[in-house]
Structure 1
Amino acid sequence: MAQCNGINDIPYEVRTSGELGRYLVAARDLAPGDLVLTERPLVFGPKAMQNAEASMPCVGCYKPVSTEVGERCFRCGWPVCSGNCPGLKDPRHHGVECHILSARPECVLNNMTDYYRHDALLPLRCILLQKIDVKQWTKLLELQSHMECRIPGSEAYDEANEYIVEYLMNHFISKLEDEIKNKYIPEVSPALIHRMCGIIDTNALEIRLPDGAELHALYTNTCIMEHSCIPNTKHTFMQSPKDKNDLYRITVKVVVPLQKEHHVTTMYTHALWGTQARRQHLKDTKYFACRCTRCSDPTELGTYLSAMKCLGDGNNECDGVHLPEDPLDDETEWACNKCPIKINSSQVNMVITQMGEEVENVQMVGGSVPILESLLCRLSTFLHPNHYHLYSIKHSLIQLYGRQPSYTSVEILEKKIKMCKDLIIITRALDPGNARLSLYNAVLQHELHSALLSKVKVKIDSSKRNVDHIVSITTEAKVAIENALECLKDDIDETAGKKLFEVIKKSKMSFDKYCKKRKLGCK
């Protein structure tokens, strides 16, 4: 792996253009695994918990604490895991902000999600940098805020104004004594807080912690990487460093061959969303319309991830698929590739949104096999087999097939194997370097291995054993489990990746023992 040993060895250059602003290009040819950059965060802060009524993140270490019985910071009254939490005195965490939050020292047990707004802490920590670290503050101010788009009356402005700006100003900053204010935040105004909100919304990266809490963090150089829906880099965060100052240090590596002068890219949206959903998300949160190779291709790199089936004209059936005529036009018509029928974008959006809500509702309650299969069958009437809503359902099903007592038959195993292979093809096409879908891919490869191994065991116990066929399937199972581990090679420093890696590693050991016991050699 390439290292940055000196000023002349930096593998990227910062460029500027009127269209992109600041962005990075490769300073030389880079290979998969080469290091692009590694840096500590400028600032970070907790997001509100998904179920904030039940638990909130400790302001010192971000561990979830019960809203009913959790301890409180003795000075400001905010929920903490313990009065001895080291982060309560650490200036990077709660150490400095506590002086501001103490302007309202009273505690409450009712309406806590409104009273303790954790999404307001990162903007506050940003403002506090002006005294904590002037160099970091200067770098922070260089980040794009898109305030020209966040004008009064816009959704982003009004939301930030109600939930963050007025919250901080009215409950804390306006109550500060002059001595405290001049010491910690000499420059503060609603406009400055709005600017911090814009910088966060535009640039912040999400960090998921082992216990389920989430953070947002800002980085000097990582934040100026250009977006692409087929990114050429992958980033990971250090969560258990030897040096506490390296907490949440980000490492960015190349995942596909990158030629000199080519743009260094990352992804700011979900790789398994369709083009319309990705582009709308980027417009709403990053204020630009993506025109990358994937977004420009109606078939999404041949995956047909957004395609809908043509239902004919009511008199004649059609087995074609509807694709957007111009995927970069939000109002484009969707045309069938086999007949003259077209449908407008509003119809497509309405149908896809309704289907998405159905899928989400089923996934949230942990859908059973019959429920998932019923939904898959019904949506398959309207959607291409590779559609991202169907991908989501199938990804859930393959983790149930072969594991639940009623779904272990040979027919089910064959269905699972085909489903895994189909999804692997889609996943590789969308993310050839495992930049964003490494965990998805690892699960698919692991489940493929599991189904193939089960099939081997059935074949061995059969009276009509075909040795060559058994060896062939065993070899395929071996390749799948090795691919699963390979997918996670850059994820083992993070909690989710580490847990999955350990599970798959145990499966690999069990598989090796089985092969040795049964004397199954692989080709």
Structure 2
Amino acid sequence: MEHSCVPNTTHIFDNEPNGYKITIKAVLPITAGEHITTMYTHCLWGTQARREHLRETKYFNCKCKRCSDPTELGSYLSALRCIGTNEEPCGGIRLPLNPLDDNTDWACDKCPVNLTNAEVCFLVNGIGEEVDNVQLSNPTVRELDSLLNKMITFLHSNHYHIYAVKHSLIQLYGYQQGYTPSQLTDDCLAKKATMCRELLDITKKVDPGNARLPLYLGVILHELYLANWLIIKRKWDLGIKTKVKSVVQMLLECEKCLEEANEALKNESNTPAGEKLAALITTSTKRI
């Protein structure tokens, strides 16, 4: 099947009595004459990483609508922060002038300073190695927080390296010793909820049909539910007077998160991770 970095199908593997079966399902509307596509690379890699992987393993240069867009469909998954030339950064966003050109310069939207593609690759690859090393060392919340604060100086808050660290963090808030539900401050819960909403927005932009990231999406939605639920329960148990409207909004968001998570995992029931996450969502739905 043809590749696209925004595929309009997903595939499901089933064990059959007489062998294996692959089911292909449309996840986006496919009009007459439109190509039916899948994806040969990782959805959460930036454009340069995806195109390099496809070139080395599939021998073609991808020119899909996501690869052709410097902002990657408004997700800014590869964007950098401009640190300028003076002591104070200009606060601009740095994007490739032509993402389909491997030698393109990266320009800032606020100042005239450009970076070469080689300079950007050196920076991003170096940060990527550090992220991998930290992630493989069974990191603590403090270690990931420290890494996040360091990266945010150079990378856009939606960058795929930052996405990876945030996705790990939201799963540690509420579970790791020192950050259990009873130990989390209100600020930590609010921070977790904000991270979840940021990740949710990015995930839906790069995978609008939920073809490649159902487990990522399911985790984000369930963790957002948990953050809201803990805030609501804490206020309720303490008898703190609060605006009814804000509580109702959080409850509605909880309900919506669980409904969306359940829908996102409908094709993951035959995988161990999908089955485990679906069970958590069922329990949470009963609680709601």
- Distance in 1 of aligned mates of 2:126 and 2:219: 28
Conserved 8 A contact 1:237-1:494: no
Aligned counterpart, 2:249 = 472
* Residue 22 (structure 2) pairs with residue 246 (structure 1): no
* Residue 258 (structure 2) pairs with residue 481 (structure 1): yes
The residue type paired with residue 371 of structure 1 is E
- Distance in 1 of aligned mates of 2:130 and 2:177: 26
- Distance in 2 of aligned mates of 1:442 and 1:276: 27
C-alpha spacing 1:315/1:418, structure 2 compared with 1 (3 Å): closer
Please point out which of 275, 283, 288 is paired with 1:506.
Answer: 283
- Distance in 1 of aligned mates of 2:8 and 2:112: 38
Aligned counterpart, 1:343 = 115
* Residue 210 (structure 2) pairs with residue 434 (structure 1): yes
Please point out which of 166, 171, 178 is paired with 1:399.
Answer: 171
Q: Deviations over 1:427-447 (max 9, x none)?
A: 000001110011100000000
Q: Shift of the alpha carbon at 1:490? A: 1.3
Q: Shift of the alpha carbon at 1:501? A: 1.4
The residue type paired with residue 411 of structure 1 is D
- Distance in 2 of aligned mates of 1:498 and 1:319: 43
Conserved 8 A contact 1:255-1:433: yes
- Distance in 2 of aligned mates of 1:254 and 1:469: 38
- Distance in 1 of aligned mates of 2:136 and 2:146: 16
- Distance in 2 of aligned mates of 1:459 and 1:385: 30
The residue type paired with residue 246 of structure 1 is G
- Distance in 2 of aligned mates of 1:369 and 1:278: 29
Q: Shift of the alpha carbon at 1:315? A: 5.0
Conserved 8 A contact 1:459-1:470: no
Aligned counterpart, 1:383 = 155
> Relative to structure 2, which stretch is displaced further, 257-266 or 458-467?
458-467
Aligned counterpart, 2:271 = 494
C-alpha spacing 1:316/1:497, structure 2 compared with 1 (3 Å): closer
Q: Deviations over 1:158-216 (max 9, x none)?
A: xxxxxxxxxxxxxxxxxxxxxxxxxxxxxxxxxxxxxxxxxxxxxxxxxxxxxxxxxxx
Q: Shift of the alpha carbon at 1:282? A: 0.1
Conserved 8 A contact 1:310-1:319: yes
Q: Deviations over 1:87-134 (max 9, x none)?
A: xxxxxxxxxxxxxxxxxxxxxxxxxxxxxxxxxxxxxxxxxxxxxxxx
Q: Shift of the alpha carbon at 1:491? A: 1.4
- Distance in 1 of aligned mates of 2:137 and 2:257: 30
Please point out which of 415, 434, 444 is paired with 2:220.
Answer: 444
Runs of 5+ unmatched residues, structure 1: 1-224, 513-523
The structure carrying a bigger helix percent of its residues is 2
Aligned counterpart, 2:133 = 361
Please point out which of 47, 50, 57 is paired with 1:278.
Answer: 50
Q: Provide the secondary structure at the position in 1 that maps to 2:172.
A: coil
Q: Deviations over 1:48-106 (max 9, x none)?
A: xxxxxxxxxxxxxxxxxxxxxxxxxxxxxxxxxxxxxxxxxxxxxxxxxxxxxxxxxxx
Q: Under a length normalisation based on structure 2, what TM-score does the superposition of the two structures give? A: 0.95
Q: Provide the secondary structure at the position in 2 that maps to 1:399.
A: helix
Matches within 5 A, 1:184-199: none
Q: Shift of the alpha carbon at 1:464? A: 2.8
Aligned counterpart, 1:237 = 13
Q: Shift of the alpha carbon at 1:403? A: 2.7
Please point out which of 264, 272, 291 is paired with 2:63.
Answer: 291
Q: Shift of the alpha carbon at 1:317? A: 3.0
> Relative to structure 2, which stretch is displaced further, 495-504 or 355-364?
495-504
- Distance in 2 of aligned mates of 1:471 and 1:404: 29
> Relative to structure 2, which stretch is displaced further, 367-376 or 309-318?
309-318
- Distance in 2 of aligned mates of 1:398 and 1:494: 22
Runs of 5+ unmatched residues, structure 2: none
Aligned counterpart, 2:95 = 323
The residue type paired with residue 238 of structure 2 is S
Aligned counterpart, 1:226 = 2
Conserved 8 A contact 1:402-1:409: no
- Distance in 2 of aligned mates of 1:425 and 1:292: 21
C-alpha spacing 1:457/1:315, structure 2 compared with 1 (3 Å): closer
Q: Deviations over 1:214-267 (max 9, x none)?
A: xxxxxxxxxxx110000000001013x3x2x232x1110000111011000000
What is the percent sequence identity of the aligned residues? 50
Aligned counterpart, 1:300 = 72
> Relative to structure 2, which stretch is displaced further, 264-273 or 494-503?
494-503
Q: Provide the secondary structure at the position in 2 that maps to 1:250.
A: strand
Aligned counterpart, 1:333 = 105
Q: How many residues matched? A: 283
- Distance in 2 of aligned mates of 1:315 and 1:489: 51
- Distance in 1 of aligned mates of 2:239 and 2:270: 46
- Distance in 2 of aligned mates of 1:285 and 1:328: 18
Q: CA RMSD in A?
A: 1.3
Q: Provide the secondary structure at the position in 1 that maps to 2:23.
A: strand
C-alpha spacing 1:327/1:474, structure 2 compared with 1 (3 Å): same
Matches within 5 A, 1:73-152: none
Q: Where has structure 1 moved over 4 Å in runs of 4 or more?
A: none
C-alpha spacing 1:336/1:445, structure 2 compared with 1 (3 Å): same
Conserved 8 A contact 1:236-1:494: no
Q: Tell which has more relative contact order, 1 or 2 (C-alpha 8 A, sep 6+).
A: 2
Aligned counterpart, 1:415 = 191
Matches within 5 A, 1:20-31: none
- Distance in 2 of aligned mates of 1:350 and 1:469: 45
